[in-house]
A = this chain, B = another copy of it.
């Protein structure tokens, strides 16, 4: 099989590093171009930027040039800060397919960007374009197959949506409301020179942030509405854990249902053959280390009918299923390869 030519823009951050880790050994991918930001100084070997990859590639990382990017590849992964990808689309749009890992194309309503992302959207028409797909693989395979631009979901959004969509689809959610107590490793915050992310500030610590204000909230609610027609509300407490990778969303949902109905809803949504990366575990909540460095999302739940609240745990690696891994899962779907190619 001919190799697909693939580029990565944003190859110096944690998500870019994870894309590299996975794509360097993907059997059908030929990496052709690696870029940092436009301000990057000079081409620098990957083995200097990420010494762990020494001996695994001779590629260099260079300053991002949109024209070079467009010419270099069939598909580009953009792992850039929010607000950057949209500016690149005019140069890329007609020439290559794009899998964007930022928030730039996740929300369909441009009016939401100023509030949740603090910028006016530069390409509002693209947001609801016919060839733009939301890359939650398990729910949008058909759209992904024909898309030219994929908005890869946020890490929290992926873990929450995979957990709550089966409940909404089966009409089990009472009062249209759910609460998410989410805990993420620090790689979710990126490689930023920020004192609040120092080892000394976060080891032996736990800290909440953006309570009820996180930009993944409108993304989750949009998809609940699009996919199930229900308008929901959510409470959201994102928290930083003293770990590098991995994320667990613990979700509290008021339901009126039997344990069997709940289990049926999950089994129907994620049959093992059709959804190879979602592992459903009735009766137990998942732990972080079973998913770290994998593309799996583990979903477990505990239900006490007397309490009427269902408790769901949804665990994934924020850099893999929550970012680079799902992006490659989408690449596989787009390319007609088995969904697990290069991901096991």
A204-B287 in contact (CB<8A): no
A179-B304 in contact (CB<8A): no
User: Cβ of A285 < 8 Å from any Cβ of B?
Assistant: yes
Could you tell me the distance between the alpha carbons of A339 and B145 in the complex, rounded to whole angstroms?
Answer: 38
User: Cβ of A55 < 8 Å from any Cβ of B?
Assistant: yes
B302-A206 in contact (CB<8A): no
- Identify which of A14, A199, A250 gathers the most chain B CB atoms within 10 Å of its CB: A199
A186-B204 contact given A212-B304, A289-B52, CB 8 Å threshold: no
| Partner pick for A204 among B205, B244, B313, CB 8 A cutoff | B244
Give the chain B neighbours of A239 by CB distance below 8 A: 250
Interface-side segment among A89-97, A148-156, A290-298, A330-338: A290-298
Chain A interface: which size bin? 35 or more
Q: What 1/0 mask marks residues of chain A from 16 to 40 whose CB sits below 8 Å from any chain B CB?
A: 0000000001000000000000000
In chain A, positions 221-265 with a C-beta closer than 8 Å to chain B are 233-235, 237, 239, 241-246, 248, 250, 252
A244-B200 in contact (CB<8A): yes
User: Cβ of A67 < 8 Å from any Cβ of B?
Assistant: no
B52-A206 in contact (CB<8A): no
Give the chain B neighbours of A1 by CB distance below 8 A: none
A237-B288 in contact (CB<8A): no
A210 to chain B, nearest CB (A): 10
| Partner pick for A235 among B233, B289, B293, B304, CB 8 A cutoff | B304
Q: What 1/0 mask marks residues of chain A from 173 to 194 whose CB sits below 8 Å from any chain B CB?
A: 0000101010101110001111
In chain A, positions 266-310 with a C-beta closer than 8 Å to chain B are 272, 276, 279, 285, 287-294, 296, 298, 302, 304, 306-309
User: Cβ of A123 < 8 Å from any Cβ of B?
Assistant: no
Q: What 1/0 mask marks residues of chain A from 197 to 229 whose CB sits below 8 Å from any chain B CB?
A: 111111111111001100000000000000000
Give the chain B neighbours of A288 by CB distance below 8 A: 204-207
Q: A residues engaging B (CB < 8 A)?
A: 14, 25, 51-52, 54-56, 177, 179, 181, 183, 185-187, 191-195, 197-208, 211-212, 233-235, 237, 239, 241-246, 248, 250, 252, 272, 276, 279, 285, 287-294, 296, 298, 302, 304, 306-309, 311, 313, 344
